[in-house]
Amino acid sequence: EAFSGINFQEIGSLSEEERNKRFTDMRTKSEAAMKLLDEKLNKSLDQKQVTRLKQLALQRDVIASLVGPDLGNQLKLTDDQQAKLREVAAQGFPPFGPPEARKKAQADALAVLTEPQKKQWNDLTGKSFTFPEPQFGGPGFGGLGGPGGRGPGGPGGERKIVAQFDK
The CA distances from residue 70 to 64, 67, 84, 149, in Å, are 11, 9, 17, 39
Mutual angle of helices 79-91 and 99-110, in 10-degree steps: 170
- Cβ proximity of 144 and 110 under 8 Å: no
Name which of 105, 1, 115, 91 is nearest 60 in CA terms: 105
Judged against a pLDDT cut of 70, whether residue 140 lies above it is answered with no
Confidence of residue 61 (pLDDT cuts 50, 70, 90): confident
- pLDDT score, position 8: 67
What value does the mean pLDDT of the chain take? 80
Mean pLDDT of 120-131: 93
The CA distances from residue 12 to 18, 26, 107, in Å, are 10, 16, 31
Judged against a pLDDT cut of 70, whether residue 80 lies above it is answered with yes
Calpha distance 65→68 (Å, rounded): 5
The residues, any chain, with a CB within 8 Å of residue 22's CB and separated by 6 or more, are: 6, 11, 14
- pLDDT score, position 135: 65
- Contacts of 101-108 with CB under 8 Å at 24 or more apart are 105/63, 106/62, 106/63
pTM of the model: 0.63
Mean pLDDT of 101-110: 89
Confidence of residue 128 (pLDDT cuts 50, 70, 90): very high
- pLDDT score, position 22: 81
